[in-house]
Amino acid sequence: MTQLPIYTEEHELFRRTIRDFVATEITPFVNEWDEAEEFPRELYQKVGAVGLFGIGFDEKYGGLGDHDPILLSIVSEEFARCGAGGVAASLFSNYIGAPPIQTGGSAKVKAEIIPGMLKGDLICALAVTEPGGGSDVAALETRAVRDGEHFIVNGQKTFITSGMRADYITAAVRTGGAGPSGVSLLVIPTNAAGFYATPLEKMGWWCSDTATLYFDDCRVPAEYLLGVENAGFRLIMENFNYERLLLISGMVGASRLCFDEALSWARERHTFGQRLADHQVIRHKFVEMDRMINATKAWMEKLAWQVLHGDKPVAELAECKVQASLTMEFCAREAAQILGGASYIRGNPVERIYREVRVNAIGGGSEEIMRDLAARQLGL
């Protein structure tokens, strides 16, 4: 298939590299990892060795330089081909936990964390959501109080990807008054006294590490403050744009995998004297899946191009995330209908993706929150 002009030769080479890596190092093992509810930590080093953590990080730390949202979307889309979203969810917590460190961290903090993260030796996580509130970031309650050269942190975070394995947590904390103007971002080393975490069991993303975090008079050096105190809300919002692009492209990849799995089955399966793919009702299912995937991917590519050129299409990113989760849900359902009973057996990628629909429709901002965000951005 001819690629759009937005994809350079470097993009295409990177895509082939990722596709080969996923096919060799990940796909053969995802059933085992999902059942074990974890994957080997060594996978981080393998990903780091081929440069897949480096997008948007300074070359002096071992990164690939300027942020390329098109490259980022390629990584997420290709990793979805393994058929287990929990792998990418945990691996790429680095891409939601570490960018604020790149943007707002001191030279000392960046040198301490980013090189090791890029190599896969260190894991970063982002902690925003709290037990008492989800997408209402401005209402968070975890508090950090300045005490000389330290912050004393108290509170909880939950549904945190890589919360058990992370070496550093980029946490949204309240350092000032109510509302967004009192929010800061603070990097918290997980070996700090007063920090502990407990794992969560989930509907999907079984091999992804997800946790509730607890801060009990957790003492964190003040040098780990990102940017200016009480000015962290903007950093969080800007970071969400890249997180949503990652989620959108991952959902596009998962939707296409559902299509491919169902098509392979329908070409081989025979019912009532003909291939399943020859029944009109089944053929129409494939057309609808293909139509929705192509529309969502085209929108994703447009948004990646806009972000690359300095735009901040907040409303469209929110709308496209809704479009992507609805597309994924539709494709997972239709693929399951086409596979029939086979789609209900564990180890089948369609079965796994079906279970992963909800986390994609909720994580990074639920469909309802995304619609409301878009409405506000549109001045409604």
Among 375, 7, 356, CA closest to 204 = 356
The total of other beta-carbon atoms located within 10 Å of residue 134's CB is 17
Q: How far apart are CA 326 and CA 319, in angstroms?
A: 11
R_g (Cα) of the chain, nearest Å: 21
Three-state secondary structure call for residue 6: coil
The catalytic residues are 243
Q: Kindly state the DSSP code that residue 208 receives in the 8-state scheme.
A: S
Tokens 């639920």, residue? 366
DSSP code string of 338-352: HHGGGGGSTT-HHHH
Rounded to 10 degrees, the C-alpha dihedral 71/321/211/197 comes to 70
**Identity of residue 26:** I
Coil/strand/helix, residue 246 = helix
**3-class secondary-structure state, position 182:** helix
Distances (CA, A) of 146 to 10, 175, 221: 46, 8, 10
In this structure, are residues 33 and 39 in contact, taking their beta carbons and an 8 Å threshold? yes
Q: Which residues pair with 55 in a beta bridge?
A: none
CA–CA separation, 276 vs 280, rounded Å? Answer: 9
d(CA 25, CA 23): 6
- How do strand 168-174 and strand 124-127 relate by DSSP bridges? parallel
Contacting residues for 41 by C-beta, under 8 A, at least 6 apart: 165
Count CB-CB contacts under 10 A for residue 350.
26
Q: How far is CA 271 from the centre of its chain?
A: 39
